[in-house]
Amino acid sequence: MVTVDSTRCVKCGSCADECPNYVFGSIPDANIGEIAVRYPEQCCACGHCVAICPENAIRHKEMPAERFEDIPDIQISPETMRHILLSRRSIRTFEETPVPRELVEQLVEAGIHAGTSSNGQTENFIILQDRSVLSELEELVIEVLWKAGLRYLGSGLGSRLAEMKYGTEMTRECMAYYHIIRNRRQNHELEGMIFRNAPVVVISHGLRANYLAHANCAIAARNMEILASATGLGACWAGFLTSAAHISRRIARYLGISTDRNVYGAIMAGYPKHKYRKRIPRKDREVRWI
Ligand SMILES: Cc1cc2nc3c(=O)[nH]c(=O)nc-3n(C[C@H](O)[C@H](O)[C@H](O)COP(=O)(O)O)c2cc1C
C-alpha cells in the first residue's frame, strides 16, 4: 500500500516524523537513517508522507502522487489572519442575492479540508437552498426544542428543576430561548428565526458511532465560516438545528440521513445586509498555564 523508493529517498526522516500512525521507521542494521515502511497496517491514508517528501520518494496506492497539488506560495500576514479571526461576526441578516454555486462549492471544499479524527473523512454535507424545505425544517426544529423541554421553563418548578439539573448558566441561556420560541409558536412572530432566511444552509453530518463526529463537523463548519467571512459572505451557526438533531431523530429522518448518522454542524450563509463597525470585546475567561 505504501512504499519508499530508496533510489530517491534522502533519509531526511520527514515522512516518519510527521506520520500520525508511526508507519515508517529506520531499518535496524541498515545504513544510518534509512527509512522503511515498518507498520503498513497502521496507515490511515492521510497522505502526509506523500505531501511532505521533498524527493517524491513515497508511493502510496490510495494516495497517488498525481492527485497532489503543489502548495502555491501565498503569504497571509499574521495581521490579516488575526483581523479575519477577530473581526468575523455571526451574520443574521442577508441580502436576497443568491450565492453563486462556485462560492458554495468553495465553502464545502473548505469544510472537506478540515482535519478529521483518525483521518476518517466520513463527514458529509447537505446544501439546503429550497425555501419550502427550510421553512418545514424550521417548524420541525421548533417543535422538537419546545416539546423536548423548553416549554417546562415557563413554570417556576420547571425552571428550578432545570437549574438543579443543568446549572444556573445553562438555564439562563435556555430561558431566553423559552421566550423566543414561545413567541414564535404563539404569535407567529420571528418567522425564519432558525435559519434567518439565509439563501444557503450547509449541514455537516457524521457517524453516530464516532465520539468525535461533533468535533469533525464543528471544525468543518468553522472552516466554512472563516472562508465565508474572507470572501465577503456572512455566515452563522445554525445551532438550533444541531441541538434539535441531538434531541430527536426526526431531524435526520427529514433530511434523508441514514440511521447510523446525525447532524453535528450547520451554518447559514449569504451576502450580509449590514456591516459591523466594531470588534466586540469578550468576557474575561480563565486561562490557566500549567
Ligand atoms: C455552536 C454554535 C451554535 C450557534 N447557534 C446559533 C443559532 O442557532 N442561531 C444564531 O443566531 N446564532 C447562533 N450562534 C452564534 C452565536 O450566537 C455567536 O457566535 C455569539 O453570539 C458570538 O457572536 P460572534 O459569532 O459574532 O462572535 C451559534 C454559535 C455557535 C458557536
pLDDT in tens, 133-174: 999 999 999 999 999 989 999 889 999 999 999 999 999 989
pLDDT at 97 over 80: yes
The upper half-sphere exposure of residue 92, i.e. CA atoms within 13 Å in the direction of its Cβ, equals: 8
Same domain, 204 and 262: yes
Centroid of chain to Cα 124 = 10
Pair (259, 127) in one structural domain = yes
* Tally of domains in the chain: 3
Q: Pick from 232, 227, 267, 281: which is nearest to 76 by CA?
A: 227
Q: Among 186-195, 196-205, 256-265, whose mean pLDDT is lowest?
A: 186-195
Q: What is the mean pLDDT of residues 231-237?
A: 97
Grade residue 17 by pLDDT with cuts at 50, 70 and 90.
very high
Ligand 1 and 89: CB distance under 6 A: yes
The per-residue pLDDT for 30 is: 59
The 10s digit of each residue's pLDDT in 71-89 is: 999 999 999 999 999 999 9
In a domain, 76, yes or no: no
Where is pLDDT greater, at 32 or 129? 129
Q: Is the pLDDT of residue 15 over 90?
A: yes
Q: Is the CB of 238 under 6 A from ligand 1?
A: yes
Q: Give pLDDT tens digits for 31-48.
A: 667 889 999 999 999 999
Establish whether residue 90 lines the binding site of ligand 1, counting it when its CB lies within 6 angstroms of any ligand atom.
Answer: yes
Q: Are residues 42 and 160 in the same domain?
A: no
Banded pLDDT at 190 (limits 50, 70, 90): confident
Minimum-distance ligand 1 atom for the alpha carbon of 92: 11
Whether the predicted pLDDT of 193 surpasses 80: yes
In a domain, residue 208? The reply is: yes
268 lines ligand 1 (CB under 6 A): no
167 and 258 part of one domain: no
Reply yes or no on whether the pLDDT at 184 is more than 70: yes
CATH number of the CATH domain containing 243:
3.40.109.10
Q: How many whole angstroms separate alpha carbon 233 and alpha carbon 269?
A: 7
pLDDT for residue 32:
65
What lies within 8 Å, CB to CB, of 151 at 6+ separation is 178, 182
Nearest CA, atom 27, ligand 1: 89
Q: Residue 31's pLDDT is what?
A: 63
Give the residue carrying C-alpha cell 466586540. Answer: 280
Q: What's the pLDDT score for residue 109?
A: 98
81 lies in some domain: no
Whether 240 is in the pocket of ligand 1, judged by its Cβ within 6 Å, is: yes
Please state the separation of Cα 47 from the chain's center in Å: 21
- Taking phi first (over 0 means left), then psi (-120 to 50 degrees means alpha), and beta for anything else, what does residue 62 get? alpha
Residue 276 lies in a domain: no
**Domain span at residue 178?**
133-186
What 223-227 contacts at long range (C-beta under 8 Å, 24+ apart), as own/partner pairs, is 223/110, 223/111, 223/113, 223/114, 224/107, 224/108, 224/110, 224/111, 224/267, 224/269, 225/88, 225/267, 226/84, 226/85, 226/88, 226/110, 227/106, 227/107, 227/110
Asked if the structure places residue 72 within a domain, the reply is no
What percent of the chain is modeled with pLDDT above 90?
A: 91
